[in-house]
Structure 1
Amino acid sequence: MFVLLLSNLVFSQGRFTIQNKHRSDKIKFKLINNLIIIPVKINGVTLSFLLDTGVSKPIIFNFLNVSDTLKIKNTETIFLRGLGEGELVEALKSNNNIIRIGEAINLSQDLYAIFEANLDLAPKLGFPVHGIIGNDIFSDLIVEVNYSKEYLKLTEPEAYKYKKCGKCETFNLEFYNGKPYINAEVTIDSKKIPVKLLIDSGGSDVLWLFENDSLGIKSSNAFFNDFLGHGLSGSVYGKRTKIDALSLKSFVLENANVAYPDSASISIARKFKDRNGSLAGNVLKRFNIIFDYQKAIITLKKNALFKEKFSYNKSGIELAHDGVRFVKEIDDRILKEKTGLIRNHDAINSTKIVIDTQYKMSLKPAYTIVELRNDSPAKKAGLLIGDVVLRINNKPTHQFSLQDVMHEFYDDSGKHIRLKVDRNGKVLNFSFNLENPFKKKKIPKYLGIL
């Protein structure tokens, strides 16, 4: 998961318009780990961007060496701070860039190029991501997000017509530094508490809450400490637990996951005093959504993902796509006989069959353990950060996406996991069972002396 917050900066630039007679366009996206990845063309070069309602200005990950290709110019150096406990991050501000998303185009767009390599989203998602874009699209256009069919529909506000929807709920939006906030309700220990939440499509979690004893917003005793995500200024850690319910008017999500980030990691996020947390991708994906910043409203309609159960990573492992490795694969298998190729069952006892197995060396993704939760099954089994996972339950990991491999760790408690890993050139085998992270530890009984 990636979370981002920029400072309150002042900008002057163009706006997005749609260059067709319908003043509307539909764009397909990829939904990866609850995040929306869209194609964006910058100065004529097509890239992949994360669509993030929680980011003020477009950001290019400059460590990917795209500046020269994009012909970025008119730059000045600035420093930004976001979530996490790290230092300020150096960035180059550039103006007068041409950005196109489908038929939507902005001829004078400000953007930022960031050099911090730890902000590379591609290893975390297992998919190339070159940057992040958010507020500029939402503030200029009405944005429909169809999570179930994975497409966006962008429409100029003057051309948009609302349809009657008896199964929809509409909410007023509030804005702070250009970011949208929604009023919701959480139920914690049977107490209903109104909350104001940032709508954060750039976060893959369910819900973040900022602990506040006076409001009754606090973690239950059944929690575990975990890595929560990457911020602009470093990693974010905190507690994970459950709440009784999250309510968005008539839409109620029961037994929902929640994270309580450490206060030191979110100091900049708490500058908006009324904010109680964030509503992220694992909730948003359960709805098809209309964002209308012009009228300051958002419309939600349940989709096929609404009833998907909430689950936690029961292994304690976080993987990242860490480069590539050579894999020996069967390229072709040729069956030959003296007189030619054997077909069907024409072979007879006197026929000599030669199986000529040819191999090729291919470059395949390497999935490396980058986070390992303390007291987790994987940690207790002896796995270490830096181990490259070669096989999971006897299946080569390179045959699957990073998301598919990680999905195995969200299965039911008790499922047996077998991993083959490469540790500094040595192949090792490990096994463990997935465990409920909230499972209470058994207290050993001691026999008294009579």
Structure 2
Amino acid sequence: MKAKYYILVMSLVGLLSYRHGMAQHVGFDLPDKLQRVRIDFELHNNLIVIPVVLNKTLKANFILDTGVQYPIITEKALADMLGLTYSRRIIIQGPGEKDSITALINTDIHLQLPGGVESGMNQSLLVLENDYLNLRETMGVDVYGIIGYDIFSRFIVEINYDEKYLVVHEHKRYKPKRRYKKLDMRVYNTKPYVSLMVENKRGDKNKLSLMIDTGASHSLLIDSPDDRSVLPTTNIMSVIGRGLGGDIEGHLGRVKNVKIGKYEFENPIVSFPQEGDYGSAVMRGSRNGTMGSEFLSRFNVVFDYFSGTLYIKKNKNYAREFEYDMSGMTLVAHGTDFNEFRVGSVRYNSPAYLAGVKRGDIIHSINGFNFEILNLSGASTLLRQKEGKKITLKITRGEEEFKTSFKLLRYI
């Protein structure tokens, strides 16, 4: 099943340092006299989704992403509704099928988060001219943008994946919690990195520097040519993600062990992008890959960019098994209100393929659960939950309606 996550890589963003008019306040602030603000979030396919009010008029859902430097509106129609004007057009290099895409720069938007956290009136952001991410379709919820560094660089950010809330703290007032373990974190080119140890099935150990990417729903991704030996002998070829330029292909497999700080994980699933599909866009040598939210969400975490520290404490998801889709089909949201499932692709000889499922089929229910009950994130979880579990689909294909069933099968 196609991984429901994306990877964003920006270039030429230095152009955004441009400001027009008189000097004004730049960046986010808490309301007067407050030292911290709690913000509840939704979690979809391991991605944190928060509401953002644009220009004090329009509310839209944004993904909180440590991998992006400037806020992004992914659908230009939303920017058109706001009547935004642009100072210039730039080229963005990003992983995927397209070598580069174009984006427009706006330098005078106002953004407000829940609890009264807001930017000055001259916040900068990018507007994509074409939406290759298709966030609403791949996530099944109304998501129109991405925000990251502007939050993490201004506050100490505490993320509680257990109870689905985050807290932004004034950094001068924050006191670390005793039960959290402290890890060194390097912030380079606006992005956070930590080191961990990966052991392959042959017993070889590799110390890797991975970018922490809350905007990617995978577990770990390794993208260093020097570390290809980590690639497991048993693996599958798949679309492993989606970048600004479209789909990213690669391999998926299990490594023997991953250790971060004092914590160890056995047999986690790791993604290995196909050379040229991803690495050329991220300047090889700056990192060995990424740590996504499938891995990070096993902890409650605190990002402290000011001291270069990541605090982690294992949560109720810590012992959850690392699993991948066992059906062989990809699903995307479909319909006017994105309230149906559509089959994006079917892997040859997979359980779904042998049960007669075809690309383009509309699935109205899975084991009796429709989209309103299950949603896309829930469907993805169900299809990787337990090998041997029976799955029954109610399908429409053209004018035909029928049911079909199969049992889940573990590939890796």
Please say if 1:251 is aligned against 2:263: yes
Residue 30 of structure 1 and its aligned partner are, at CA, apart by: 0.6
> 1:387 — aligned with what?
361
Equivalent of residue 60 in structure 2, options 37, 47, 51: 47
User: Could you tell me which amino acid in structure 2 is paired with residue 424 of structure 1?
Assistant: G
The structural deviation recorded for 1:312 is 1.2
In 2, Cα distance between the equivalents of 1:126 and 1:289?
Answer: 26
CA distance in 2 between counterparts of 1:368 and 1:415 reads: 21
Which of the numbers 284, 290, 296 marks the counterpart of 2:302? 290
Q: CA deviation at 1:76?
A: 1.9
Match of 1:446 in 2: none
Question: What amino acid maps onto 1:32 in structure 2?
Answer: H
CA RMSD of aligned residues (A): 1.9
Aligned partner letter, 2:100: L
Deviation (angstroms), 1:395: 4.2
Shift of 1:320: 0.9
**Residues 123, 321 of structure 1: 8 Å contact kept:** yes
CA distance in 2, matches of 1:8, 1:272: 17
Higher relative contact order (CA 8 A, sep 6+): 2
The offset of 1:394, in angstroms, is 4.2
1:429 maps to which of 393, 403, 409: 403
Q: Distance in 2 between matches of 1:120 and 1:22?
A: 37
SS at match of 1:149: coil
Answer whether contact 2:69 2:149 (CA < 8 A) is retained: yes
Query: Which residue is equivalent to 1:73?
Result: 85
1:15 aligns with 2:20: no
Matching of residues 120-199 of structure 1 within 5 Å: 120-163=134-177, 165=178, 167-189=179-201, 190-199=203-212
Structure 1 position 211, deviation (Å): 5.2
1:34 aligns with 2:46: yes
Measured in 2, the distance between the counterparts of 1:224 and 1:98 equals: 45
Match runs of 1:333-352 below 5 Å: none
Q: 2:333 aligns with which of 315, 321, 325?
A: 321
How far is 1:216 from its partner?
A: 6.0
Displacement of 1:215 in angstroms is: 4.2
Q: How many residues align?
A: 396
* Contact 2:237/2:251, CA 8 A, preserved across alignment: yes
- Percent identical pairs in the alignment equals 30
Which protein has the bigger strand share? 1
**Match for residue 59 of structure 1 among 52, 72, 86:** 72
Per the alignment, in what secondary structure is the counterpart of residue 264 of structure 1? coil
Q: How high is the TM-score relative to the length of structure 2?
A: 0.91
Equivalence for 2:22: none
Counterpart amino acid of residue 309 in structure 2: I
1:227 touches 1:371 (CA, 8 Å); kept in 2? no
- Residue deviations 1:133-156 (CA, integer Å, cap 9, x gap): 011111111111111111111122
Partner of residue 377, structure 1:
351
Distance 1:136 1:364 in 2: 30
* SS in structure 2 of the partner of residue 117 of structure 1: coil
Q: CA deviation at 1:22?
A: 2.1
- Is residue 324 of structure 2 the alignment partner of residue 312 of structure 1? yes
CA contact (8 A) 1:238 1:259 kept: yes
Which residue in 2 is equivalent to 1:420? 394
Q: Among residues 7, 15, 24, which one is paired with 1:3 in the alignment?
A: 7
Aligned partners of 1:211 and 1:260 also within 8 Å: no
Q: Quote the Cα distance in structure 1 between the aligned partners of 2:319 and 2:327.
A: 24
Partner of 2:151, secondary structure, is helix
Distance (whole Å) between structure 2 residues aligned to residue 291 and residue 236 of structure 1: 28
Residues 200 and 395 from structure 1, CA distance in 2 versus in 1: closer, same or farther, beyond 3 angstroms?
closer
Distance 1:210 1:375, change over 3 A: farther
> In structure 1, how many angstroms separate the alpha carbons of the residues matched to 2:371 and 2:167?
35
Alignment of 1:197-236 (within 5 A): 197-210=210-223, 212=225, 214-215=226-227, 217-236=229-248
Provide the rounded CA distance (Å) in 2 between the counterparts of 1:437 and 1:73.
49
| SS in structure 2 of the partner of residue 198 of structure 1 | strand
2:109–2:124 CA contact under 8 A, matched in 1: yes
Name the counterpart of 1:348.
none
Q: 1: CA distance between counterparts of 2:253 and 2:90?
A: 38
What are structure 2's unaligned runs of at least 5 residues?
Answer: 20-25
Q: Of 335, 338, 341, which residue of structure 2 is paired with 1:367? A: 341
Q: State the alpha-carbon separation in 2 of the partners of residues 394 and 416 from structure 1.
A: 12
Equivalent pair of 2:86/2:104 in contact (CA under 8 Å): no
Cα distance change, pair 95–295 in 1 and its aligned pair in 2 (3 A): same
Report deviation, 1:59.
0.5
- What is the match of residue 111 of structure 1? 125
Instruction: Give SS of 1:69's match.
Output: helix
Structure 1 unaligned regions, length at least 5: 325-362, 439-450
1:265 and 2:277 matched: yes
> Deviations 1:176-204 (Å, cap 9, x if unpaired)?
32111111111112222100101000000
Shift of 1:35: 0.6
Once residues 314 and 411 of structure 2 are traced to their aligned partners in structure 1, the CA distance between those partners, rounded to angstroms, is 29
Partner of 2:291: 279
Query: Is the CA contact 2:364–2:396 (under 8 Å) kept in the aligned structure 1?
Result: yes
Letter in 2 for 1:381: A
Offset at residue 367 of structure 1 (A): 0.8
* 2:96–2:243 CA contact under 8 A, matched in 1: yes
1:26 shift after superposition: 0.7
- The answer to whether the Cα contact below 8 Å between 2:224 and 2:285 also exists between their aligned partners in 1 is no
Letter in 1 for 2:65: D
Distance in 1, matches of 2:63 and 2:286, equals 27
> Cα–Cα, structure 1 residues 94 and 234, in superposed 2: closer, same or farther, change >3 Å?
same
Letter in 2 for 1:402: L
When Rg is computed on C-alpha atoms for both structures, the one with the higher figure is: 1
> What is the deviation of 1:392?
2.2
Asked if structure 1 preserves the Cα contact closer than 8 Å seen for 2:51 and 2:61, the reply is yes
Mapping of residues 392-411 of structure 1, within 5 Å: 392-411=366-385
